[in-house]
Chain A
Amino acid sequence: MASLGELERAVMDLLWAGQEAATANTLRDLLAQSTQPQDGSAGHVGKDLAVTTVLTVLSRLERKGLVERERGTRPHRYQAVSSRADHTAELMHEVLGSAPDREAVLARFIGSVTDNEAETLRKLLGRS
């Protein structure tokens, strides 16, 4: 049985790939057929998957603010809040941004480089 983390990832991949909102049933079917075992062990995400499990995963994703639900229809249809590219950009913004407390959140190999510094760096490298 796949872990909730793997399922969340698989569901998000489907929602990001799909054009329109999908119901939990549709997602379950897609998961069941799309994930053939890839390298033997962790691949069969969709095998023996209950719709309630998919709903659990969706509500976890909703709580994390990654998925939203169309409230008008029954059964509910779910879609990604923003695209994969937007979320990647959000991460990069946090990594590269210059918020004062960013440095305490994560440690970059190279921090922001100023123009002067880049100049110094080039001079230093030129000498070596």
Chain B
Amino acid sequence: MFWTSYFLAVLAIALAWPVPILLSRAQWPARSPFTAMLLWQAIALAGGLSMIGAMLVYGLEPVGDNLLSGLRALGGMVFHNAPTTELGFWHIFALSAAALLTAHLVFTLLLTYYKIQRQRRRHRELLDLLASPSSDGPGTMVLNVDSPVAYCLPGGARSVTVLSDGLMAALEPDELRAVLIHENAHLSQRHHLLLWAFAAWRQALPWLPTTRLAQESVNSLIEMLADDVALKTESKATLIRAIAIVASGSQATPAVRMAFGEPRLSDVDPSQPGATGGSGSAGTTASRVSRLLSPQPPLSEPLRAAVLACCVLLLAVPTALLLVPGLLG
């Protein structure tokens, strides 16, 4: 029981600090974004589980041989006024911290969900009034804006992909198709659920480096996943051109197109209007393009299997440590 709590604490610290830093610096996630995405989810879940588990196990140590009997004893104290003399100050402290952390995580998850839903509903209401339906399909709308912008707004059956007039004017039909496939991949692969979970996690524990690194990595991994879907039907050059043109924002698009056609980059104005300085996705666009320009083979089968095994172990070991002694005893 005691060693379990130490082990879980060490695991929690490892998952909160060195592991995410190493993973965020690694090069291989760009080669197998899906596998990397699974690993990030396993790290997040196992991190939370071991953090809460370590405190619970430590706090319950005096009253039970394992987690389940400990929880039963604790239930007796809370609900039936059983004597609490066995618990010292630090045990009660750890138990309270575990309860508070659990409540905090769940509450933040729900609050973030509510806020996101509210913003999406409001955005959708305005879109219904301002944007016009596109000929590209029922889930596509066109907004009268000059700068090239494309995004998708998830909302179940009412999910919509929005394109600006500027984008339609700047892109050739095949480039436009690449953008649409990319955005629809976000919707069909339910990326918004991942974004929600990791946004909530960061909101709940903003001081933990993991949460920021995880959110940034997940943001860029989903872009790579959506790019891969677009590459199934559109050529690499098309996708790169679309990314470059949209990324250069309201900048004179003919210049970019020319610069791309023949590498006379000195012509391009160095002041970059697309640079709005947002933090979350910084670096994503460049890494997406470099990944497309110099493609690396995906991770080999055995390596991918090894990473998946890590994911399973990350989740299984803390769960087993917490539950198995109780179920056996």
Q: Interface on A for B, CB 8 Å cutoff?
A: 5, 8-9, 12, 64, 66, 84, 87-88, 90-92, 94-98, 100-128
- Is the Cβ of B285 less than 8 Å from the Cβ of A117? yes
Contacts of A120 in B (CB 8 A): 286, 290
Contacts of A113 in B (CB 8 A): 247, 249, 272, 274-276, 285
Cβ 8 A contact of A125, one of B153, B162, B265, B280: B265
Contacts of B215 in A (CB 8 A): 103
Q: State the Cβ distance, A42 to closest chain B Cβ, in Å.
A: 10
Cβ 8 A contact of A107, one of B119, B126, B222, B240: B222
Among A9, A87, A111, A122: residue with most chain B CB under 10 A: A111
With A113-B249, A113-B285, A118-B272: A87-B126 Cβ-Cβ less than 8 Å: yes
Chain B contact residues, majority secondary structure: helix
6 nearest A-B residue pairs (beta carbon): A111-B281, A112-B278, A98-B278, A109-B150, A104-B199, A118-B272
Among A9, A87, A94, A107: residue with most chain B CB under 10 A: A107
Q: Contact flags (1/0) for B140-151 with A, using CB distance below 8 Å?
A: 000111010111
Cβ 8 A contact of A98, one of B149, B248, B280, B286: B280
With A88-B130, A103-B195: A125-B281 Cβ-Cβ less than 8 Å: no
Whether B284 is near chain A, meaning CB under 8 Å from some CB there, is yes
- Is the Cβ of A105 less than 8 Å from the Cβ of B276? no
Contacts of A109 in B (CB 8 A): 149-151, 179, 182-183, 242-243, 246
Q: Contact flags (1/0) for B173-188 with A, using CB distance below 8 Å?
A: 0000001001100100
- Is the Cβ of A107 less than 8 Å from the Cβ of B285? no
- Is the Cβ of B199 less than 8 Å from the Cβ of A101? yes
With A94-B123, A103-B219: A110-B247 Cβ-Cβ less than 8 Å: yes
Q: How large is the interface on B (under 10, 10 to 19, 20 to 34, 35 or more residues)?
A: 35 or more
- Is the Cβ of A84 less than 8 Å from the Cβ of B123? no
Whether B312 is near chain A, meaning CB under 8 Å from some CB there, is no
A49 to B244, CA, bound (A): 49
Whether B293 is near chain A, meaning CB under 8 Å from some CB there, is yes
A93 to B131, CA, bound (A): 15
- Is the Cβ of A118 less than 8 Å from the Cβ of B145? no
Whether B203 is near chain A, meaning CB under 8 Å from some CB there, is yes
Contacts of B154 in A (CB 8 A): 106-107
- Is the Cβ of B260 less than 8 Å from the Cβ of A125? yes
Q: State the Cβ distance, B186 to closest chain A Cβ, in Å.
A: 5
A125 to B282, CA, bound (A): 18
- For B279, give the chain A residue with the smallest CB separation: A98
A127 to B130, CA, bound (A): 41
A-B contact sample (10 more), CB < 8 A, given A87-B130, A96-B276, A114-B275: A87-B129, A95-B162, A103-B195, A106-B120, A110-B247, A111-B219, A111-B282, A113-B274, A122-B265, A124-B290
A114 to B287, CA, bound (A): 13
Contacts of A98 in B (CB 8 A): 276-280
- For B215, give the chain A residue with the smallest CB separation: A103
Whether B37 is near chain A, meaning CB under 8 Å from some CB there, is no
A113 to B272, CA, bound (A): 9
A-B contact pairs, 23 of them (CB 8 A): A8-B128, A66-B125, A88-B130, A91-B130, A94-B123, A100-B202, A103-B219, A104-B199, A106-B151, A107-B183, A109-B149, A109-B243, A110-B150, A111-B284, A113-B249, A113-B272, A113-B276, A114-B277, A118-B247, A118-B274, A120-B286, A124-B289, A125-B260
Whether B295 is near chain A, meaning CB under 8 Å from some CB there, is no
A56 to B260, CA, bound (A): 53
Contacts of B272 in A (CB 8 A): 113, 115, 118-119
A103 to B216, CA, bound (A): 10
Contacts of A112 in B (CB 8 A): 274-282
Interface residues of B in 265-309 (CB under 8 A from A): 265, 268, 272, 274-286, 289-290, 293
- For B237, give the chain A residue with the smallest CB separation: A128
- Is the Cβ of A91 less than 8 Å from the Cβ of B152? no
- Is the Cβ of A117 less than 8 Å from the Cβ of B286? yes
Whether B263 is near chain A, meaning CB under 8 Å from some CB there, is yes
- Is the Cβ of A111 less than 8 Å from the Cβ of B286? no
- For B244, give the chain A residue with the smallest CB separation: A125
With A87-B129, A121-B244, A126-B265: A92-B149 Cβ-Cβ less than 8 Å: yes
